[in-house]
Structure 1
Amino acid sequence: MHIGLKFCFSLLLLLATLSVSAQRKPVIVPAPSSDSLKILSELMFNGQTDMARYEANDLFMKLLRNDLFNPNSYYFSFDSIKALSVMTSSDSKFKIFTWALPLKTDCFETFGLMLVYSNKSSTYKVIELHDISHELVHPEKEVLKKGQWFGAVYFQLIEKKYKGEKYYTLIGWNGTDALIQYKVIDVLMFDRNDDPVFGKLIFRGKGFYGSKRLVFRYSDKVVMKLRYETMTYTTVKTRDHKRHNARINTNNDEALHANKRKVTSKVKTEELIMFDLMVPMRPELEGQYQYYMPLSETANAFYFDDGRWVHKQIKTSDDSTNVHTPENGLMPH
């Protein structure tokens, strides 16, 4: 009888533990306005006039904001809305929602909302982002606050930590110009009020020093690679050594110096932001970004080191492989 009671008590304790665990596990459910948002997103892309698209976008923004003001909004799913990019930090600090509105002029306007956890109130707050990319003369030099933002539809979020500080790096696309595309690497931090701050002096390398974000401008007719990947590649180094035989070469004759070539190869696996360097089709077109295209001679990358994104060029062999590309959000053309 004693053994039976002990078994029953253990079973009840186990069931109670499982019940508490189940209660703590968040349940992801479709957002209340998912169906309406999906219909509106189709109107935003297929409306007969720009006015119709703007009206659909305004209602889309309103419904999305209403959903995000719901106390349980962090656990809402928006997966059914393909036009909406949702980036979620692994530490549950924030979600960022971005989308682009296509216009008849072949331009795109970019919109964004954020759901950010406030340490002061212990709740999530909603922040609207305002794209001011068209107002910035030197966007690489600006730190943007108070909802101001270099608009982009984000398709990757990279999270790094250095000396206890969290770095959120966002990679996205901007199409505000009919002839030029933009791809952006931006850095997101939070101030003492848990408000977003975009831009940080974090990039190192020739041509990148002094930049708080990176903006790549190029023709709307080409594709630029910009992806965070785990890359395995083989590097090959060749070195020539001169050998000198003092017993034979008594006259120090250079002709008797025999060269020895040493070839070494090394396999490396790294997490890198791989990107194409964009250059004008001809030198006289410099600064006319509608004529910029990828330079494919050398692979370019950033690696994270001591709290910095450091540029390097990689001369890879033919057997270089992309082991894993993190899938997160939308991938524009």
Structure 2
Amino acid sequence: MKKSIILIACFCLTFTIVSGQSKTVEKLKEYEKTLRTIDAQSINGENELERRNSTYNFIKTLVTALKLPGSYNYPFDSLKTIAITKDPENKFRIFSWLFANDDGTYRYYGAIQMNNPKQLELYPLKDYTDFINNLSDTITSNENWVGAQYYQIIPPSNSNDPYLLLGWKGNDQKSSMRVIEPLTISEGKITMGAPVLQDSTGKHLNRMVFEYSKSASMMLKYIPSKKWIVFDHLVPSDKSKTGHYEYYGPDLSYDGLKYEKGKWVYMNNINLTNEASVADELFNDPKKLANPQGTPAKRGKN
């Protein structure tokens, strides 16, 4: 009799848990529908003020949804205008998206959600780009963030290394950027930037920023099998445009960074054609990826 009572109790408890999880998922689906509607308004609003107000409403609604238990595992995959990128180690995920201003510039919004099953642990990302004089040399936090839309997270090779975030950053009407952003999360503190990235001169930077013509497209991608970050080599359209990055674009050669003892060392003129595994990993099947090479086919231009 006691065994029967215990089995019934276990069944009732399991049913209650599953029922509760099902109700939460349904609530999250409703929030997702609402977010899609608000997001459409933030893109298609008649003027910048209307679109901005919709963006603020979107943020409030998203935070409310994330407060629900189990929200970390909910994909929100119908929200096509924001990037939701998960850490390969499943410790956190990043929401990031952009707002296109009428003057051709952009403002970025985002948040880091930790995988905390007990409560919502969320760090807002506040775009501070306009107040940072040197993007490559400045160490920041989530409160004074160099805004970007992230599409790949590189986990640390050892406990002392930062994560690296690969992102796209629309700049203005003339140029776009790609960004390699070191990220450290420690004791509830977010640090963005670390002197682990070497440039072509041998100097170590806190973050790496590539600027190029708005009409061009740049590849920046991590190759896990080699521990390489590879990217297009950018050159000006002619020598007279040197230093004017709105005239820069790929020249069909590739450079990169390779991991060595906690640093990412610069590699010039990588011959990818002789690296079959790298070439395979660089290929993006258009049937599998709606957003090839991480380029945001979303708000604004690339």
- TM-score over 0.5 (shorter chain): yes
Note the C-alpha offset of 1:32: 4.3
Corresponding position of 1:219: 213
Corresponding position of 1:158: 154
In the superposition, the TM-score normalised over structure 2's length comes to 0.79
In the superposition, the TM-score normalised over structure 1's length comes to 0.72
Cα-Cα RMSD: 3.1
* Residues 310/150 of structure 1: CA separation in 2 closer, same or farther (3 Å cut): same
| CA distance in structure 2 between the partners assigned to 1:277 and 1:299 by the alignment | 5
| CA distance in structure 1 between the partners assigned to 2:196 and 2:113 by the alignment | 25
| CA distance in structure 2 between the partners assigned to 1:270 and 1:59 by the alignment | 43
CA contact (8 A) 1:32 1:67 kept: no
| Match of residue 121, structure 2, among 117, 122, 125 | 125
Q: Which amino acid aligns with 1:34?
A: E
| CA distance in structure 2 between the partners assigned to 1:89 and 1:306 by the alignment | 22
| CA distance in structure 2 between the partners assigned to 1:304 and 1:181 by the alignment | 26
Secondary structure class of the residue paired with 2:157:
strand
| CA distance in structure 2 between the partners assigned to 1:38 and 1:131 by the alignment | 23
| Match of residue 307, structure 1, among 254, 262, 265 | 262
Note the C-alpha offset of 1:280: 2.0
Q: How many residues align?
A: 272
| CA distance in structure 2 between the partners assigned to 1:115 and 1:307 by the alignment | 26
| Match of residue 53, structure 2, among 52, 55, 59 | 55
CA contact (8 A) 1:203 1:211 kept: yes
Corresponding position of 2:197: 203
* Residues 227/90 of structure 1: CA separation in 2 closer, same or farther (3 Å cut): closer
Cα displacement string for residues 281-325 of structure 1 (whole angstroms, at most 9, x for unaligned residues)? 2233222221111232x3211122212211112134478562225
Return the index of the structure with the highest Cα Rg. Answer: 1
CA contact (8 A) 1:160 1:166 kept: yes
Q: Which runs of 5+ in 1 are unaligned?
A: 1-11, 231-268
Secondary structure class of the residue paired with 1:66:
helix
User: Once structures 1 and 2 are overlaid, which stretch shifts more, 136-145 or 205-214?
Assistant: 205-214
* Residues 165/31 of structure 1: CA separation in 2 closer, same or farther (3 Å cut): farther
Q: Which amino acid aligns with 2:53?
A: E
Note the C-alpha offset of 1:39: 1.4
Secondary structure class of the residue paired with 1:304:
strand
Cα displacement string for residues 129-175 of structure 1 (whole angstroms, at most 9, x for unaligned residues)? 1111222111111111252211001111111322x335311111111
| Match of residue 231, structure 2, among 275, 285, 291 | 275
Corresponding position of 1:233: none
Q: Which amino acid aligns with 2:173?
A: A
| CA distance in structure 2 between the partners assigned to 1:270 and 1:173 by the alignment | 23
Higher relative strand content: 1
Corresponding position of 1:39: 37
Q: Which runs of 5+ in 2 are unaligned?
A: 1-6, 297-301
Identity of counterpart residues, as a percentage?
24
Corresponding position of 1:291: 247
